[in-house]
Amino acid sequence: MQGKYRPIWLNDNGDLEVLDQRYLPHETKIRKLTTGAEATEAISNMTVRGAGVIGNVAAMGVYLLAREFGDDKARIKDEALKIRSSRPTAVNLMWAVDRMLDIIEKSDNVLSDAKAEAIAICDEDVKRSETIGKVGCDIIEKIMQEKNLKKINILTHCNAGWLAIIDSGTALAPIYEAKRRGIDVHVWVDETRPRNQGANLTSWELLDAGIDHTIIADNTGGHLMQHNMVDMAITGADRVTRCGDVANKIGTYLKALAANDNSVPFYVALPLSTFDFESCNGMKEIDIEMRSEDEIHIMRGIDSEGKPGELRITPEGAKGANYGFDVTPARLITGLITEAGLIEADEKAIKELIC
Ligand code: MRU
């Protein structure tokens, strides 16, 4: 399961290796994870992040538990529940652990079945993101035709590229496909405070792919939309309810409001594993992660000599509140780009296409 665009892989000893996303774009560090507890920690401390990839690491973490605890299914389950609760909002995490436990429950050969299932979960994401790319790129072409554009400007928020779901991402998959089809595309990249996943990770991915983009401060999108400088917005998702409400990185809702006010199409790209069919009203039912206020106060980067380090930007003693995600109501979403096609963000349409 190796490939250029995979931030996680198994080494020859069967250990999990991951690209430590906390240090990108200035440093490339690889971490080796050998136990379920290490997988839990890597998810909660953001060594790995992005809905798809935390699902992948969760699945691999359950395989590592099978390596630690052999045929002791009860112990594996107890420990797997810790992985399952390592972050609360992205549902791919729970989906992957539940799928692994289901296989282990029925298995007579726990270790090899767990390993095969974890690899399958990762490999399936490759196909899912490729299809999402094609479905999304057809929409890009349609918008270009309708508006008679030679170049399209797409706004995205956070990082929903191959660092977040192998190996083309969700929101970035249509943009990578556009590049393959020779479409002239420019991306407005929201910096995505406080952790700066846009400025650090999305920009790093797009630079590597040779895709024209500009990083903007988070509050810029509305202004650009008012001046006809954004043709469409595409974001990823961490959880989508059966009624089409979308939980994604904090700030997504404000972009959707601005898009709606300016008639800019606002799409959300996701694999079907990001649907949470148990919930309908996202504002009431989705658990929004509260992260450490240190992420508000402290930024990471390099100094003028290129030396990496951290910098406090707020006054000592100031309070911070760090809401990780927000919910965009279905009514603000133009469509959901999935591997099953384009779906209206609406309970009936979601049910018809998926069930
Ligand atoms: O806190 P993060 O960095 O894990 O948040 C990631 C996002 O919000 C992405 O947009 C989301 O996971 C979609 S990408 C599959």
pLDDT band of 288, cuts 50, 70, 90:
very high
Q: Of 251, 154, 239, 238, which Cα lies nearest the Cα of 196?
A: 251
Interhelix angle 91-106/110-147, nearest 10 degrees: 150
Q: Return the structure tokens found at 250.
A: 């904090």
The answer to whether residues 199 and 26 touch, using CB atoms and an 8 Å cutoff, is no
Per-residue pLDDT of 178-214, as tens digits, reads: 999 999 999 999 999 999 999 999 999 999 999 999 9
Per-residue pLDDT at 305 exceeds 80: yes
Task: State whether the beta carbon of 168 lies less than 6 angstroms from ligand 1.
Answer: no
In this prediction, residue 1 carries a pLDDT of 53
In this prediction, residue 2 carries a pLDDT of 47
Average pLDDT over residues 306-334: 97
pLDDT band of 5, cuts 50, 70, 90:
confident
Per-residue pLDDT of 78-137, as tens digits, reads: 999 999 999 999 999 999 999 999 999 999 999 999 999 999 999 999 999 999 999 999
The answer to whether residues 150 and 217 touch, using CB atoms and an 8 Å cutoff, is no
Average pLDDT over residues 165-173: 96
Task: State whether the beta carbon of 197 lies less than 6 angstroms from ligand 1.
Answer: yes
Task: State whether the beta carbon of 51 lies less than 6 angstroms from ligand 1.
Answer: yes
Instruction: For the chain, give every domain's residue range.
Output: 8-124, 131-351
- Residue 238 appears among annotated catalytic residues: yes
Nearest alpha carbon, ligand 1 atom 14: 160
Task: State whether the beta carbon of 50 lies less than 6 angstroms from ligand 1.
Answer: yes
Task: Give the number of the atom of ligand 1 that is nearest the alpha carbon of residue 237.
Answer: 13
Bridge-based pairing of strands 322-323 and 290-291 is antiparallel
Backbone angles phi, psi at 334, to 5 degrees: -70, -40
Per-residue pLDDT at 67 exceeds 80: yes
Which CATH entry fits the domain spanning 131-351: 3.40.190.10, 1.10.645.10, 3.40.50.10470, 3.40.50.920?
3.40.50.10470
Sheet of 184-190: strand order equals 213-216, 184-190, 151-156, 232-235, 266-269, 335-338, 341-343
Let me know if domain 8-124 sits in CATH 3.40.50.720: no
Q: Of 211, 91, 105, 230, which Cα lies nearest the Cα of 161?
A: 211
157 CA → ligand 1 middle, Å: 9
User: Among the options 125, 167, 218, 238, which is catalytic?
Assistant: 238
